[in-house]
Structure 1
Amino acid sequence: RNFDMGRLGCLLATVVLSLASSLDASLIFDAADITVTSGESLTLSCGVKQDFHLCFWDHEDRRSFQVDNVHSGVHPGMRAPEDLTDNQCGIVIDSVSVEDSGAWTCRVFLTGRGGELRNSKTVAACHDSFVSLGGGCFHFNEDLWLDWYDARFYCQNLGTSEFTSDLASVDDCDQLTAIRNHIVSEYGPLWHWLGGTDAAQEDNWYWVTGGSVPRDLPFWYPDHPYNNEERNCLYMEKYSGYFWDNDCEEAGPFICEEFPVPLLHK
């Protein structure tokens, strides 16, 4: 069942986009959102193409860090990146926490009357036991094997007042590949439940978070789903990363995903 064509399909289906660095040509800035695992280091990059005299990183909770102070060691747990080329206003947070989630803005004051440049990006730090993969936060459970319904109940109970949780959905090829690679390197079971089902209407597959499950290659194993009324729940096969449909009553390991409060449908 190990078909490399699925991985090839992901590569062929992925369009590499060259994102504009900034709304302003004088600022070297990638505004793409970042998802990280709590405890990992986080690099916030910000470069300037012309002379400037001050720059800051501001968090949405009103914390503000003058970059010169960060680079000189004034703020414990924060430092300068090893390479400041085109990243003069970059900073590193050595151990990111959930409190660091939110919008971060780089503000740069140009010399003379050049004015101020700024741009922002959003950081999402995964909560404890969740791992950052492919832009999402995922919890892998292989010790407790549950049927699909009980697995979903377990995932939902992981949520707190700060986030909700449910069986995982997969947004795109990159995320599919990231999850598959993590399973291969870290876990033993050959498959894991995901949050896909067609229980409401046969062959109308949807995620528990509301979005439609992608069809055909590179997601589903060839000639799947079976369109069998007894196989209404979706699992991910370990080595190929393909989706399979299965009897929801079968016990197995599962993957949960965390979402901001309130749960945003994909």
Structure 2
Amino acid sequence: MRVPFIKMHGLGNDFVVLDRRKDDWPAMTAKAARALADRRTGVGCDQLILLEKSERADFRMRIFNSDGGEVEACGNAARAVALLHGDPARVETDGGIIALSPANSGASVDMGSPRFDWDEIPLGYAMDASAMPVGWSEGKDTLEAPMAVNVGNPHAVFFVDDANAVDLAAIGPMIENDPVFPERVNVNVASVAGESHLRLHVWERGAGLTRACGTGACATGVAAIRKGLVQSPVTVTLPGGDLVIKWQQGGSITMTGPAAEAFRGEFEWGDFA
């Protein structure tokens, strides 16, 4: 069975998009998602995106990380899907319903309201999620007292003097898999570059280091605004480029940035199932 795909990316965070809104083919599995995401023997991507029919919204977006695990939200993928869809839409995700608006070779996405309570992140036990009383050390790096934020998926945000100086590839996996995060966590390391400017690196849960993370930019922007470190709207500079995050206390998050289609192709389902 031949299945068409669209290869897309948002600031270098790349996706294989499968549109199942009209066509019917076998259900996605963790094994198939891992195989398709493999950069040597598959199509290759950070996340596999599956579009399906929805009874609650215009359509549903499911997200599989490169390790095969299904996750709740992906901001860069939301912008890519907005570009592909071509019209404003309400989209069902496992993290809630989001609103997409294509614009200027990319999109603005209403990501919904952030959550800050320990049990909404979730954390393993009750604690102050605005400055978690925990820390981790690996090599020369020590990261302490993150703010935990849920923006459809869980994030731990650390503010440091120089985000570029932290070996996130070494310390990120340790934090992601710490038992204090029962659903694992995305690890964000940021530094303030101006009154409305942040620099950010992200270790993504189930995907590792990526060139950009939309939900990471949202979580970090919100955390910095809430701490009074920057003013909204804030430009978040990631290795792949810039995203703009707008948020006011008690409101929803708006993320704006580019997305692009790279190419289209087909694969034989039986080779990956």
Q: Quick check: TM above 0.5?
A: no
TM-score range, shorter chain: under 0.3
The TM-score, its normalising length taken from structure 2, stands at: 0.22
Greater strand proportion: 2
Flag the structure with larger Rg: 1
